[in-house]
Amino acid sequence: MKKKMSNRDKTFWAVIIPVLILFFTFNTLPMIKGIVYSFTNYRGYGTYDYVGFRNYLDLFTDARVGKSYLFTFKYALAGTVLVNVLSLIMALGLNSSIRFKSALRGIYFVPNILGGLVIGYIFSFIFTYILPAVGNAFNIGFLQNSILASEKYAWIGVLIVGVWQAVAMNTIIYISGLQTVPQEVYEASMLDGASKWKEFWKVTFPLVMPFVTINLVLSTKNFLMVFDQIMSLTKGGPAQSTESISYLIYKNGMDGGQFGFQSANAVIFFIVIVAISVFQMTVMNKKEEQL
């Protein structure tokens, strides 16, 4: 028996070591390299020197980087709130006693399976031609020009597309959350004569709290990393008003000659994402425990 056990352990190691090598080579190693590059003035080609923390110090004074953080946070915050409110409402609707339930659920999920890039191109046409046409027909001032061409409103266009796709995903997760609530709980609250509004806040909401956590963490992370929609809708414009952090790192790091500088940006971005995720999970776990 003893010998058998150690054979088993050997097999386990024989399996896990190649997997670990693969993971290290294409995940940890490039990350370490990224961190190393962040201390250099590497342009992506040619020679380079180590510059200490200069890239990091420069990040905090670089107006373009600052602008991209502001845009990304504004976008992620608005997106996360909108998506979670909308998808919770959608999930409540799609989980109630309606007809054609599965067909409707199926249709509302479609935006999520379609690629962000192509969807961005289609919406770009809507924002550029359809909405201004509507604006002209009904004399709605701010719609008469493409919102994507407006420094003030372009981010709303990107937001609409992001939300349109993300609601589909989060709704499905909230539906599976609502299905974990036993029917008896609703019956009990009905017998108590609780109003629908009260029933939702006092009974349903606390019970689906774990799903709120999942959805908040997921959607925040996805919105923070927005890339495809920017690529197809605005390319960061106009006047860099919709340049997300991912897009800036891609654009200036890959062909802008800022390999080292954008590596520092990516390191900070990574820390920000981890910090926000951890923060959300701790706060929400506390909330879950209280309820």
Partner 1 sequence: MRETKKTNWVLTIVLILGTVTVFFPLYMAIIIAFKQPSEMTNDVAGALAFPAKWSLDNFRQAMEVTDFWHSLGNSLLITLTTIVLAVLIHSIAGYVISRGMTRIKGFRFIYLYIVSGMFVPFSILMMPLVKQTAQMGLGNRAGVILLYLVFYMPMNVLLYTGYMKNIPMALEEAADIDGASTWKTFWKIVFPMMMPMHATVAILTALGTWNDVMTPLVIMSGTGQNTLPLAQLNFQTQFGTNYNLAFASYILALIPILVFYIICQKQILNGVANGAVKG
Q: How many beta carbons lie within 10 A of that of residue 280, not counting itself? A: 16
| Alpha-carbon gap, residue 182 to 233, rounded angstroms | 44
77 binds partner 1 (CB under 8 A): no
Site for partner 1, residues 230 to 249, rule: CB under 8 A: 231-232, 245-246, 249
Candidate list 47, 99, 197, 289; residue touching partner 1; CB under 8 A: 99
How many residues line the site for partner 1 (CB under 8 A)? 92
For residue 40, give the 3-state DSSP assignment.
strand
Closer to partner 1 at the Cβ: 42 or 155?
Answer: 42
| Alpha-carbon gap, residue 17 to 193, rounded angstroms | 60
CB of 85 to partner 1, least distance (A): 15
Closer to partner 1 at the Cβ: 53 or 270?
Answer: 270
Of 57-65, 66-74, 77-85, 225-233, which segment contacts partner 1 by CB under 8 A?
225-233
Q: Please, are residues 174 and 87 in contact by the beta-carbon 8 Å criterion?
A: yes
| Alpha-carbon gap, residue 223 to 278, rounded angstroms | 16
Closer to partner 1 at the Cβ: 70 or 137?
Answer: 137
Site for partner 1, residues 152 to 191, rule: CB under 8 A: 164, 169, 172-173, 175-177, 183, 186-187, 190
Of 101-109, 147-155, 193-201, 281-289, which segment contacts partner 1 by CB under 8 A?
101-109
Closer to partner 1 at the Cβ: 70 or 133?
Answer: 133
73 binds partner 1 (CB under 8 A): no
Closer to partner 1 at the Cβ: 87 or 241?
Answer: 87
Closer to partner 1 at the Cβ: 77 or 137?
Answer: 137
- Residue 49: left (phi > 0), alpha (psi -120 to 50), or beta? beta
Q: Which residue has the tokens 């031609």?
A: 129
- DSSP for 179-233 reads TTS-HHHHHHHHHTT--HHHHIIIIIHHHTHHHHHHHHHHHHHHHHT--HHHHHH
